Structure 1
Amino acid sequence: MAVNQLRADRPNFDFPLDQGIEWFDSDTGCTIVVSTPTTDPGLWSDFIDGAARSYHKHGIENALDIDSLADEANTQLFHAVVSDAGAVMAGIRAKGPLKSPEESHALVEWQSSPGLHMAHKMISDRVPFGVVEMKTAWISDNPGRSRFLASTLARTPFTAMALLNAQFVLATAGVHVLNRWRTSGGVVATKVPATPYPDDRYRTKMMWWDRGTFTNHADPAQVSKIFNEMAILARQLDHVNGRALGSGL
């Protein structure tokens, strides 16, 4: 199965992901696992535990949205960065493609904020082309790996867009996080004013990735790694697809 993140005729991922897709990430010295809560319930549980610890440490438990995590229908894919010892060092999950703006948690974050109308419009304009929302990003406290973990998570939108057949990825976060994500071509929605979410200590902004134009904004080193990961993904999907066809699925 060809996976080309720059083409408009995006590939359809129309067979079940009955096993995680994974590859070794030399930057972090970890394995990147892309899976679903149903396929990898144990890893998903570790993901949630790690996210809960991270959000608690930073005093933003109310932004974790435990109810959403408990309903697997709200997570189509998740990425887990797993160490050699089997510990989940970082992660992020994907929801989508969204059927309407109202499915996006961003509207909850901008509720009663001046940017709500513009946030709604930006999502609505892109939904016909496929929008995936990335949520619950977290990184463990590891001084030697934190910077590399952040760079690795910044590339996860492209796996999500390829697997979920979407043109766009949406994410919301504070400025310090978005500055790290810019490296992979994410663009801050400057027309949407920041919102004080999850509380007044924060100024949360909206960021978009467009698989058709991201190379105009991304760091060259990240672009190279994104293409490499898409090639790895394509090979693994070919293997999974061939196995599915061989079994009569």
Structure 2
Amino acid sequence: MIEERIPHGVVEVKGAWVSEDAVEKSELFHFLARSPIMSLTILNARFTVGTAGSDYHWREWGSSGGVIATEIPPAPYPSEKYQAKVIWWDRETYPYLASSFHAVSALHEIAELLGGVRILPERHASGQAS
């Protein structure tokens, strides 16, 4: 699974969390859920890989277009309380898998970061599936 993706570019995301007392906690958490999309786009990689250890995080990563790698068994991390699962984002599919909120938000944020540069292949911009 990993080996066949390496030639297309893989970015690993790590260490995303939000403090319980953070101001605008929900907005910050949603932004972090889109960071894998921004990473793969800005770094011109096809894939981003990360892990998450709870249902709440799996749902949020999934709503940003991430897909749990069911072929890889979960591992207890950072403690037995959590079961970390590997999650992949694919530049070719996330626009179709992400919620409209995350897809549109990510496109605007990336365009702002890149100064208006086109960030999707033409087939995505026209609505055609890959």
Task: Provide the TM-score with structure 1 as the length reference.
Answer: 0.44
Verify: 1:232 aligned to 2:112, yes or no.
yes
Question: C-alpha root-mean-square deviation of aligned residues, in Å?
Answer: 1.8
What is the SS of the residue equivalent to 1:159?
Answer: helix
Match among 192, 195, 209 for residue 89 of structure 2:
209
- Partner of residue 151, structure 1: 30
- Partner of residue 63, structure 2: 183
- Which amino acid counterpart does residue 41 of structure 2 have in structure 1? A
- Separation in 1 of the partners of 2:99 and 2:21? 24
Gaps of 5+ in 2: 118-130
- Which amino acid counterpart does residue 110 of structure 2 have in structure 1? M
Alignment of 1:69-88 (within 5 A): none
What is the SS of the residue equivalent to 1:181?
Answer: helix
Percent sequence identity over aligned pairs: 40
CA contact (8 A) 1:161 1:168 kept: yes
CA contact (8 A) 1:196 1:204 kept: yes
- Partner of residue 135, structure 1: 14
Q: How many Å apart are 1:198 and its aligned residue?
A: 2.3
- Which amino acid counterpart does residue 35 of structure 2 have in structure 1? T
Q: How many Å apart are 1:192 and its aligned residue?
A: 1.4
Given the superposition, is the C-alpha separation of residues 196 and 128 from structure 1 closer, same or farther in structure 2, using an over 3 Å criterion?
A: same
1:6-40: CA deviations, max 9, x gaps? xxxxxxxxxxxxxxxxxxxxxxxxxxxxxxxxxxx
CA contact (8 A) 1:151 1:181 kept: no
Gaps of 5+ in 1: 1-121, 238-249
Verify: 1:161 aligned to 2:40, yes or no.
yes
What is the SS of the residue equivalent to 2:13?
Answer: strand
- Separation in 1 of the partners of 2:88 and 2:74? 14
Verify: 1:197 aligned to 2:58, yes or no.
no
- Separation in 2 of the partners of 1:143 and 1:228? 24
- Partner of residue 221, structure 1: 101
Q: How many Å apart are 1:143 and its aligned residue?
A: 6.3
Q: How many Å apart are 1:144 and its aligned residue?
A: 5.5
Deviating above 6 A after TM superposition, structure 1's stretches of 4 or more consecutive aligned residues are: none
Larger Rg: 1
Q: How many Å apart are 1:178 and its aligned residue?
A: 2.0
Task: Provide the TM-score with structure 2 as the length reference.
Answer: 0.80
Alignment of 1:117-132 (within 5 A): 122-132=1-11
- Separation in 1 of the partners of 2:13 and 2:40? 10
Count of aligned pairs between the two proteins: 116
Alignment of 1:82-97 (within 5 A): none
- Which amino acid counterpart does residue 97 of structure 2 have in structure 1? H
- Separation in 1 of the partners of 2:21 and 2:43? 31
CA contact (8 A) 1:195 1:203 kept: yes
